[in-house]
């Protein structure tokens, strides 16, 4: 099939490459010429495991192209909209400017019968508005939310655990379903379940999945707060409750909380939209979810002050991790960046490292020093804080770091280090809601 993907960021670039690997002819389109220049040379414009290989495979097969010209979408019959829907400045609501700009730019190139497929995460009701907008072109609309996880995005795109088609129940459903089934023939043949819903349900599925995940994380972080106040250990608690099949252990890791370009803005957009349509009370709990999450960042800063005798001012603090999660260079709403900013504001001298995110962090945070190895980051540190659970950080040998630091003190912001090993190597180890060992 001939497919266009409008918007080639973390979602769209991966989607375009994955569709080409699945055998389709794909053109990826983005207004960011730098991104297009990279992608056109088979270079991933951001760090995502497997993306360079998928791009290379798509190009080698002659099925993949990128362009900054929307007119290049004219030969495609299926057009995915994968542009950003960030939080609006000064509001909790989603900024839909990019979605509507992309659809409007695409409209002159749509042919009767083409299928426009929304992938961006949007407030419920957006799809109907787009369907009305494109109606004069005789193109049709579907909503097909995306569930990929950065760090696993290529694999998630090739092998999704479910595929949701939002299709208006207007008599064309079967025909549109057949088109989407052909797009996703490869994962469907592997057994990926397909769910067909109304447009509104498909839009809400994505937002509610993220709201649930955010709630699960904030739930365990609330328990970490209780554990911190009572001397319980939230990791043991998570193991114990996680064995209940109704609860499950995944996403029950207490730490510095969630971040990234999705969960924080998606729960805020859901609250804003629910308020707008008069059902704000239904998701009022998400305000607490957001607040618990942001409190974790402040908690790390107070814990740092406590471990440094009452204040971080004038202390050298080393941060391990900048991206919001490992295996990604994405720093959008990253807890690590907030913590770095708060520590510098309180007068600490902050030095940070990350395997992939330094360049992105450098662009938005200039008050910290960046180092390209763990050793140079922790040199003469009064305190080390692990903020992103990259494997290379989790595997650090504490006794190798001891001679480098000024004081052997560490905060494990993700509860991923072997506490006993760090304690045995003479470190003052503090986790998030974990037992305190003197
Ligand atoms: P992103 O910021 O990385 O990418 C968005 C891209 O859209 C940018 O490259 C931008 O230049 C481009 N763009 C903006 N306006 C355009 C236009 N008019 N025409 C063409 N391109 C345009 O964002 P992202 O993380 O890829 O997210 C995109 C959407 O997918 C969002 O709605 C997000 O919530 C959703 N989503 C993201 C993920 C994820 O893990 N990143 C997962 C699922 C869903």
Name the residue with the closest Cα to ligand 1, atom 9. Answer: 9
**CA 114: distance to chain centroid?**
30
- What's the token pair of residue 69? 């010209």
Residue range(s) defining the domain that contains residue 258: 212-430
Q: Is 216 annotated as a binding residue?
A: no
Cα(228) to centroid of ligand 1, in Å? 38
Cα(359) to centroid of ligand 1, in Å? 20
| Mean pLDDT confidence for 103-131 | 98
Is pLDDT at 438 greater than 70 in this prediction? no
Name the residue with the closest Cα to ligand 1, atom 34. Answer: 121
Rounded to whole angstroms, the Cα distance separating 36 from 13 reads: 10
- What's the token pair of residue 110? 């749509």
> HSE of 362 in the Cβ direction (CA atoms, 13 Å)?
10
Of ligand 1's listed atoms, the one at least distance from the Cα of 8 is 9
Is pLDDT at 151 greater than 70 in this prediction? yes
Residues 106 and 178 in one domain: yes
Cβ burial of 177 (10 Å; 0-12, 13-18, 19+) is middle
Tell me the per-residue pLDDT of 217-255, one tens digit each, with 9 for 90 and over. 999 999 999 999 999 999 999 999 999 999 999 999 999
From 4, 14, 30, 155, the mutation candidate for ligand 1 (largest count of ligand atoms within 8 A of CB) is 30
Q: Is 332 annotated as a binding residue?
A: yes
Residues 188 and 273 in one domain: no
Domain-embedded: residue 202: no
Residues 41 and 117 in one domain: yes
Is pLDDT at 437 greater than 80 in this prediction? no
* Predicted local distance difference test score (pLDDT) of residue 152: 98
Domain-embedded: residue 436: no
* Predicted local distance difference test score (pLDDT) of residue 332: 98
Catalytic residue numbers, as ranges:
262
Domain-embedded: residue 203: no
Name the residue with the closest Cα to ligand 1, atom 4. Answer: 9
Instruction: Check if 105 has its Cβ closer than 6 Å to any atom of ligand 1.
Output: yes
Cα(7) to centroid of ligand 1, in Å? 6
Instruction: Check if 50 has its Cβ closer than 6 Å to any atom of ligand 1.
Output: no
Instruction: Check if 209 has its Cβ closer than 6 Å to any atom of ligand 1.
Output: no
Name the residue with the closest Cα to ligand 1, atom 38. Answer: 11
* Predicted local distance difference test score (pLDDT) of residue 317: 98
Residues 179 and 138 in one domain: yes
The residues, ordered by sequence, that sit 6+ positions from 344 with a Cβ below 8 Å of its Cβ are 350, 367, 368
- What's the token pair of residue 317? 């603090």
Nearest to 334 by CA among 404, 413, 275, 222: 413
Instruction: Check if 30 has its Cβ closer than 6 Å to any atom of ligand 1.
Output: yes
Of ligand 1's listed atoms, the one at least distance from the Cα of 32 is 11
From 10, 67, 323, the mutation candidate for ligand 1 (largest count of ligand atoms within 8 A of CB) is 10
Residues 82 and 149 in one domain: yes
Residues 181 and 264 in one domain: no
Residues 300 and 390 in one domain: yes
Tell me the per-residue pLDDT of 158-177, one tens digit each, with 9 for 90 and over. 999 999 999 999 989 999 99
| Mean pLDDT confidence for 340-344 | 98
Tell me the per-residue pLDDT of 24-75, one tens digit each, with 9 for 90 and over. 999 999 999 999 999 999 999 999 999 999 999 999 999 999 999 999 999 9
Tell me the per-residue pLDDT of 247-279, one tens digit each, with 9 for 90 and over. 999 999 999 999 999 999 999 999 999 999 999
Mean pLDDT of the chain: 97
CATH number at 55 reads 3.40.50.720
* Predicted local distance difference test score (pLDDT) of residue 436: 79
**At which of 170, 197, 224 does a domain end?**
197
Name the residue with the closest Cα to ligand 1, atom 1. Answer: 9
Residues 223 and 246 in one domain: yes
Domain-embedded: residue 206: no
Percent of the chain with pLDDT over 90: 98
Tell me the per-residue pLDDT of 176-223, one tens digit each, with 9 for 90 and over. 999 999 999 999 999 999 999 999 999 999 999 999 999 999 999 999
Tell me the per-residue pLDDT of 290-318, one tens digit each, with 9 for 90 and over. 999 999 999 999 999 999 999 999 999 99
């Amino acid at each position: 099939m001939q497919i266009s993907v409008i918007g080639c960021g973390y979602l769209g670039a991966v989607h375009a490459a994955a569709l080409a690997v699945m055998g389709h002819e794909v053109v990826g389109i983005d207004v960011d010429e730098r991104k297009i220049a990279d992608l056109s040379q088979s270079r991933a414009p951001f760090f995502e495991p497997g993306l360079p290989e998928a791009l290379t495979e798509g190009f080698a097969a002659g099925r993949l192209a990128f362009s900054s010209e929307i007119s290049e979408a004219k030969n495609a019959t299926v057009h995915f909209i994968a542009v950003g829907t960030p939080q609006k400045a000064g509001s909790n609501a989603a900024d839909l400017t990019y979605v509507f700009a992309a659809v409007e730019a695409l409209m002159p190139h749509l042919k009767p019968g083409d299928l426009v497929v929304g992938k961006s995460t949007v407030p419920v009701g957006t799809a109907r508005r787009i369907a009305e907008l494109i109606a004069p072109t005789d193109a049709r609309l579907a909503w097909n939310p995306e569930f990929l996880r950065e760090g696993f995005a290529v694999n998630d795109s090739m092998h999704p655990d479910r595929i949701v088609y939002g299709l208006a129940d207007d008599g064309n459903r079967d025909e549109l379903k057949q088109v989407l089934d052909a797009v996703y023939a490869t994962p469907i043949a592997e057994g990926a379940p397909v769910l067909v819903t109304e447009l509104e349900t498909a839009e809400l599925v994505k937002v509610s999945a993220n709201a649930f995940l955010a709630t699960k994380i904030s739930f365990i972080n609330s328990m970490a707060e209780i554990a911190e106040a009572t001397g319980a250990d939230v990791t043991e608690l998570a193991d114990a409750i996680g064995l209940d099949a109704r609860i499950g252990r995944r996403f029950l890791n207490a730490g510095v909380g969630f971040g990234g370009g999705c969960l924080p803005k998606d729960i805020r957009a859901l609250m804003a939209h629910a308020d707008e349509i008069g059902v704000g009370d239904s998701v009022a709990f998400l305000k607490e979810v957001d607040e618990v999450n942001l409190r974790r960042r402040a908690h790390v800063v107070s814990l740092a002050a406590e471990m440094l005798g009452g204040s971080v001012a004038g202390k050298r603090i080393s941060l391990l991790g900048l991206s919001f999660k490992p295996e990604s260079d994405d720093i959008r709403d990253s807890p690590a960046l907030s913590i770095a900013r708060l520590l510098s504001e309180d007068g600490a001298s902050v030095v940070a490292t990350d395997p992939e995110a330094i360049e992105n962090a450098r662009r938005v945070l200039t008050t910290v020093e960046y180092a390209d190895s763990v050793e140079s980051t922790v040199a003469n540190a009064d305190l080390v804080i692990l903020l992103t659970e990259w494997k290379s950080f989790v595997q650090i040998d504490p006794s190798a770091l001891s001679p480098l630091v000024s004081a052997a003190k560490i905060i494990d912001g993700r509860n991923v280090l072997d506490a006993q090993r760090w304690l045995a190597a003479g470190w003052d180890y503090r986790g998030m809601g974990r037992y305190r060992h003197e």
